Amino acid sequence: NHVKTLIGKKVLVTAGPTIEPLDPVRYFSNYSSGKMGFALAEAAALAGAEVTLISGPVSLPTPPQVRRIDIVQAEEMKEEVLQALPQMDVIIKSAAVADYRPQKIYHQKMKKVQEELTVILEKTPDIATEVGKRKLAHQLLVGFAAETQDVETYALGKLKKKGMDLIVANNVAEPGAGFGIDTNIVTVYDQEGVVKAFPKMSKKELAVELITLIGDRLHGK
Ligand code: PMT
């Protein structure tokens, strides 16, 4: 029973982890399954939006009526997001972009010779911050924050620093919330503070709620 609140709107969703290679057989990444982002893409399409889903490596089917672009590294996700950005009305950043990547990628498999190994990591580009800078007046930027403590403080900090309109914060240390599982527990914030706190629910149900909330914002409600 979906209300077609996003007819004529173009929505970009990022989902999944990024993978940052170290050598041909090893990488740095995180536990994102893509479930939250894919559920959002599906809900947005059901609400009538034209949806582009930019995803890291996940094993999920593409939701119906969704254009999907697969990427591996943060750098590629950045390029695809910035290319799609000018056409978009809503940008939802549910991907868990790796914050760091190996400074040097080895082209041959690293050999097990030393007792200790130091890998130097460098920051990846912050895609949300770049989107926040380029964002046009009519575009709504919705970020996510994955925290394990002081959720509100960190979430509001990210919202302001990255120029987001809304941020969806999940305490990923809480049972029933965060990476990999089928449920989530989130609170949505804007510049003013709490917009809505959701109880534990399936990521699919939550996605429908979040898309409704985004639709309301878009229509100035
Ligand atoms: O994929 P699932 O298994 O369903 O799990 C869902 C989830 C826990 C991954 C999701 O609900 C979530 O919280 N996604 C954001 C995870 C994250 O990376 O949060 P963050 O607090 O590190 O980043 C804050 C925001 O900046 C995010 O919108 C992120 O996409 C963005 N970011 C971060 C780093 C970076 N280099 N570029 C970014 O754009």
pLDDT tens digits for 181-202? 999 999 999 999 999 999 999 9
Q: Are 15 and 43 in contact (CB under 8 A)?
A: no
- Phi, psi of 103, rounded to the nearest 5 degrees: -65, -35
Does residue 3 surpass a pLDDT of 80?
no
Does residue 153 surpass a pLDDT of 60?
yes
Query: Residues with Cβ within 6 A of ligand 1?
Result: 16, 32-37, 74, 93-97, 99, 124, 126-128, 143-146, 158, 170, 172, 178-180, 203
The pLDDT value given to residue 221: 74
**Can 30 be counted among the known catalytic residues?**
yes
Closest ligand 1 atom number to CA of residue 127: 39
Rg of the chain on CA atoms, in Å? 18
The alpha carbon of 97 and the centre of ligand 1 are apart by a number of angstroms equal to: 6
**Cα–Cα dist 202/176, whole Å:** 9
Which tokens hold the place of 34?
A: 């893509």
The alpha carbon of 146 and the centre of ligand 1 are apart by a number of angstroms equal to: 6
**Cα–Cα dist 131/95, whole Å:** 14
Binding-site positions for CTP read: 99, 109, 144, 158, 162
Residue-wise pLDDT for 89-129, tens only, equals 999 999 999 999 999 999 999 999 999 999 999 999 999 99
Q: Out of 1, 30, 170, 171, which one is annotated catalytic?
A: 30
The alpha carbon of 111 and the centre of ligand 1 are apart by a number of angstroms equal to: 33
Q: Looking at ligand 1, which residue's alpha carbon is closest to its atom 21?
A: 145
Mean pLDDT of 20-44: 98
The alpha carbon of 128 and the centre of ligand 1 are apart by a number of angstroms equal to: 10
**Beta carbons within 10 angstroms of residue 21's beta carbon:** 16
The pLDDT value given to residue 157: 96
Q: Are 65 and 34 in contact (CB under 8 A)?
A: no
Q: Which CATH architecture has domain 10-104+114-218?
A: 3-Layer(aba) Sandwich (3.40)
ipTM of the complex: 0.97
Residue-wise pLDDT for 45-58, tens only, equals 999 999 999 999 99
Residue of 80, 93, 171, 209 best suited for mutating to test ligand 1, as the one with most atoms within 8 Å of CB:
93
Distance of CA 37 to the CA centre of its chain: 6
**Percent of the chain having pLDDT more than 90?**
96
The pLDDT value given to residue 181: 98
Q: Looking at ligand 1, which residue's alpha carbon is closest to its atom 14?
A: 94
Position of tokens 């914002």? 217
The pLDDT value given to residue 4: 79
Does residue 220 surpass a pLDDT of 90?
no
Q: Looking at ligand 1, which residue's alpha carbon is closest to its atom 26?
A: 128
* Cα–Cα–Cα angle for 20, 21, 25, rounded to 5 degrees: 140
The pLDDT value given to residue 2: 61
Instruction: Choose between 219 and 26: higher pLDDT.
Output: 26
